[in-house]
Amino acid sequence: MGYTPKQLEGLWTAYSNLQQRRDVLVQQCVTRPFKTDKSREYACQGLSRRLRILTHCIERVFARLPPHMKEPPDRQDILDATIYLQAFVFNLFGSIDDLAHIWVNERNVTDDGGGPLPNRCVGLRKGDKIVRKSLSPEFTTYLTSLEPWLQHLDNKRHALAHRIPLYIPPYRIPPDKLKEYDAIELLIDEARRRGDHVEVRRLEKEQRTLTKFEPDATHSFIEKAPAEFFHFQIICDYNTVEELAEKLLAELDRAPW
């Protein structure tokens, strides 16, 4: 299926100003007069580094597997793009936690006894009740609107770290080509048994002409994880974390409520 011409145009437009937008946000982090050294470190050494990693991952994915690609790509390019996708997910997840740490340290959010808030309690999700109570109603409403996205990200990150990693299928077989593909597969098996490696390579080349590449990624087939068009997803994910960062920095400028 792939992307429509209009979707491709939108992807490349969003991609073209990625670095410029990132640099503006990083500059905000670097020049902001934070109250504490920990806040500054999470902003400059945490969030800012991750923003650079995120945009680098996007650039490398677009370079290895361009959105307009139709032919099955080289396996090495798929592997490289997969590694960048996995790095993207981890650093996207970490960016959100860095933002939470910035907030907690700048607003001196403590536990119920007035002590430092343990790292396990620092976050922006609905389960991070102490942090959520310290936020304005407007910002809390905004975070609530992001909850489905946050849950989806959490699932991908946990699958990547603990279960089945992200995977880019090397090709798809159109339903109307499946019988022909399977018939060639039987011929390939016969040629292998004969030790006819020249015929194996010829048949494999013929078989590949029946396939096409779809720019999607998933993790577990048994879990029925959704397949996502990954160029579109990483652009949307970056836009979301950028928006979240800008809103949190603006929230810091508001008077305590």
78 with 14, same domain: the answer is yes
128 with 52, same domain: the answer is yes
184 with 165, same domain: the answer is no
14 with 125, same domain: the answer is yes
How far apart CA 39 and CA 101 sit, in angstroms, is: 7
Q: What is the DSSP string of 50-116?
A: HHHHHHHHHHHHHHHS-TT--SPPPHHHHHHHHHHHHHHHHHHHHHHHHHHHHHHHHTT-B-TTSSB
- Spell out the per-residue pLDDT of the chain, length 257, in tens: 689 999 999 999 999 999 999 999 999 999 999 999 999 999 999 999 999 999 999 999 999 999 998 788 999 999 999 999 999 999 999 999 999 999 999 999 999 899 999 999 999 999 999 999 999 999 999 999 999 999 999 999 999 999 999 999 998 898 999 999 999 999 999 999 999 999 999 999 999 899 988 999 999 888 888 889 999 999 999 999 999 999 999 999 986 65
114 with 232, same domain: the answer is yes
123 with 88, same domain: the answer is yes
Residue 21's CB is within 10 A of a number of other CB atoms, namely 16
Domain membership flag for residue 82:
yes
Question: In terms of residue numbers, what domain contains 83?
Answer: 5-171+225-253
Q: How many domains does the chain have?
A: 2
122 with 194, same domain: the answer is no
Domain membership flag for residue 217:
no
82 with 188, same domain: the answer is no
